[in-house]
């Protein structure tokens, strides 16, 4: 596995008179690995949520509100991959299991992250590290 295995898929944003429609995911899309659950996470501007690694879950991450920086790292690697996504760069990130990640809110007052996961969230399926356990400059 490499950090290049993370897919970045442009998504449609359709302007309508009453408000835009933002596509998320279709069963026929690249990166679709089944459906377990969809869940949202708010992150405040400047706030950091890190570090997590799913052992079985494939994540499909979108940011329909605000802007978020995602930082990815493989176990036992020094290299990082950074992706900034949100309303002005509306894409979906497909992240395979086994990748350490964290994210930071870049918009005020907060941003909204959606994860369309292939399996339901299970506490024993995710590993966590303290923010200080992986050195990264979030500034």
pLDDT digit string (tens) for 56-72? 999 999 999 999 999 99
What is the Cα–Cα distance from 97 to 100, expressed in whole angstroms?
9
- Whether residue 134 lies inside any domain: the answer is no
Q: What confidence score (pLDDT) does residue 107 get?
A: 98
Q: What confidence score (pLDDT) does residue 1 get?
A: 83
Domain around 120: 3-124
What is the Cα–Cα distance from 125 to 113, expressed in whole angstroms?
20
Q: How many CA atoms lie within 13 A of 129 on its CB side?
A: 16
Q: What confidence score (pLDDT) does residue 51 get?
A: 98
- Whether residue 130 lies inside any domain: the answer is no
- Whether residue 133 lies inside any domain: the answer is no
Each residue of 22-52: pLDDT tens digit? 999 999 999 999 999 999 999 999 999 999 9
State yes or no: pLDDT of 76 exceeds 90: no
- 């970045």: which residue's tokens? 8
Counted domains in the chain: 1
- Whether residue 59 lies inside any domain: the answer is yes
CATH code assigned at 16? 2.60.120.10
Q: What percent of the chain has pLDDT over 70?
A: 100
Indicate left, alpha or beta for 76 from its phi (over 0: left) and psi (-120 to 50: alpha).
left
- Whether residue 132 lies inside any domain: the answer is no
DSSP states along 80-124: -EEEEEETTB-EEEEE-TT-EEEEEE-SSSEEEEEEEESS---GG
């Amino acid at each position: 596995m490499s950090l290049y295995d993370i897919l970045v898929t442009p998504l449609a944003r359709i302007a309508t008179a009453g408000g835009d429609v933002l596509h998320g995911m279709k069963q026929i899309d690249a990166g679709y690995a089944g459906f377990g659950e969809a869940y949202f996470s708010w992150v405040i501007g400047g706030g950091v949520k890190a570090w997590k690694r799913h052992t079985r879950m494939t994540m499909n991450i979108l940011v329909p509100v605000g802007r978020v920086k995602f930082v990815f790292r493989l176990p036992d690697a020094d290299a990082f991959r950074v992706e900034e996504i949100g309303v002005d760069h509306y894409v979906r990130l497909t992240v395979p299991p086994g990748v350490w990640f964290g994210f930071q809110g870049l918009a005020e007052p907060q941003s909204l992250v959606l994860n369309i996961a292939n399996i339901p969230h299970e506490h024993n399926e995710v590993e966590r590290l303290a923010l200080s356990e992986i050195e990264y400059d979030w500034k």
